Structure formats: structure tokens, C-alpha cells
Amino acid sequence: MTGWVVVAGLGPGRETLVTPEVQAALSEATDIVGYIPYVRRVKDRPGLTKYETDNRVELERATHALEMAAEGARVVVVSSGDPGVFAMASALFEALEAGPPAWLDLDIRVLPGITAMLAAAARIGAPLGHDFAAINLSDNLKPWDLIEHRLRLAGQAGFAMAFYNPRSASRPLQFARALEILREACGAQTLISFARAVSTAEERVTTVKLEEATPEMADMRTVVIVGNRDTRRVGRYVYTPRSAS
């Protein structure tokens, strides 16, 4: 039996947004590994073992996937959205780097998915139509000072921005601070969109000016998109022109 590891993105939620190549990998897998809600999105079938793990054990999860593949299993490590965007693909390579050299010969593939900011941007219109930056607002894996620094510089440089992991129960204050910095760096009239649970039954998308934005508008199921100074409304859509003023 020849084992392999596929790191796959399941997209933002809706089943039709899972790519055919990810569906094919899931149907050939013997084992699924990932964070509980993502593993639950994969349908049960005979011959498939599912390992649901907690959020903060990425490295253990990746090591487990590689160990199983080395023994002949066909393992899919699942992420939401795209696996390379603040997700499991990097963790897999970190585990590979730390593991036995024999693992380097394993068949490892990363299959892309539709990341939250692109699904959200498509619902909103085209807010990321010019240059933009994607920033993870969680300070679990980097210092908050660095996040503030990047926010300020990206805003001053005129990038539109997409924010992942904007606000959680354990980090209630940081997003309020992020909004303050954005108002200073981008101007209070800049448009900001809150896209929650995009492509699911709970989807909710709202756009306001930065001066009207409040921290409660975001939670951990929200991706936040801030426009640049040219970003504007046309009817019920928001778009950023492809040329800079």
C-alpha cells in the first residue's frame, strides 16, 4: 500500500465551493485529520477514519498525518478556505522539517481552496480589485506590536486589507485598537465590510465607514475587508477601481 498526505482546503462553507480535486482526494482517503468543525464537514463512509482535534494542536496533527502516511494510509488534512492561508499547509511542512528524513520521500500534495477573503470579496462586489494585504489579527503566534506595525504601514501605503481571526472571546480588546489605528492610517471615511459565515445559512455581510465601525461587528466567523481611499459604493455593491488615484 502506498501512502500519501493531501492538505486540502474545504472552501468557506458551501459544498459547491469545494473543488472537484479536493472531493476526489476525500473520496480516496482512508483517514481525515483536522480541527473538529472542518472534519465534521466530511461525510462519513465505510473505510474512512476521522480524527477530530482541537484548534491549537496543529503540529501534533500534522505529525500524526505524516506518521500514518508513512505506514501506508491515504490521509487528507483538512482546513477551511485555502490550506495555505493561516492554516494547516505550513504546519505540515514544519512537521516534515522536524521529522525523520525518510518522510521527505512521501507523496505530499497541497490542494487549494477558496479562501474566506475571496468568497467575501465576491459577495461584496470587488473590494480587493487593486493591491491588498491579508493580515491575521490573532496574536497567538506573533506579538501584538508587530500586528499594529503592519496595520499602520499597510494603511499608510494605501493597501486594501483583509483581516482573518479579527476578534475572539479571549482577545476582546485588540480589534478595538485595530479600528483606531485604521481610522488614523486610512481616514475615517474609508469603507469597511464585515462578512460573517460567508456561503453558509448564517451569512451576514455589512459595509459601513470606518468612523461607524464598532468592535462587536466582528467575531471569529467574520472576515473583515477594509478598502483603500478609492474604494466606493455603486448601488448595493462595493468596489475598488483597478487604477490608483
- Interface residues with ligand SAH (CB under 6 A) are 12-13, 79-82, 85-87, 115-116, 120, 164-166, 195-199, 220-223
Burial class of 104 by CB neighbour count within 10 A (0 to 12, 13 to 18, 19+): exposed
Q: Which is nearer to ligand SAH, 159 or 175 (CB)?
A: 175
Q: Which is nearer to ligand SAH, 37 or 100 (CB)?
A: 37
DSSP state of 216: G
Q: Which is nearer to ligand SAH, 221 or 232 (CB)?
A: 221
Residues 6+ away with beta carbon under 8 Å from 41: 10, 78
Minimum CB–partner distance for residue 85 and ligand SAH (Å)? 4
How far is the CA of 127 from the CAs of 36, 164, 168, 214, in angstroms? Answer: 31, 16, 24, 20
DSSP state of 171: B
Q: Which is nearer to ligand SAH, 69 or 87 (CB)?
A: 87
Q: Which is nearer to ligand SAH, 191 or 223 (CB)?
A: 223
Helix (H, G, I), strand (E, B) or coil at 244: coil
Minimum CB–partner distance for residue 83 and ligand SAH (Å)? 6
**Which cell numbers in the block locate residue 124?**
461584496
By beta carbon distance, the residue nearest ligand SAH is 81
Q: Which long-range contacts (CB under 8 A, 24 or more apart) does 196-201 make?
A: 196/221, 196/222, 197/13, 197/221, 197/222, 198/12, 198/13, 198/116, 198/119, 198/120, 198/123, 198/223, 199/11, 199/12, 199/13, 199/14, 199/17, 199/119, 200/12, 200/13, 200/14
Minimum CB–partner distance for residue 47 and ligand SAH (Å)? 27
Minimum CB–partner distance for residue 100 and ligand SAH (Å)? 28
Q: Decide the pairing of beta strands 74-79 and 31-35.
A: parallel
Minimum CB–partner distance for residue 243 and ligand SAH (Å)? 28
Minimum CB–partner distance for residue 72 and ligand SAH (Å)? 28
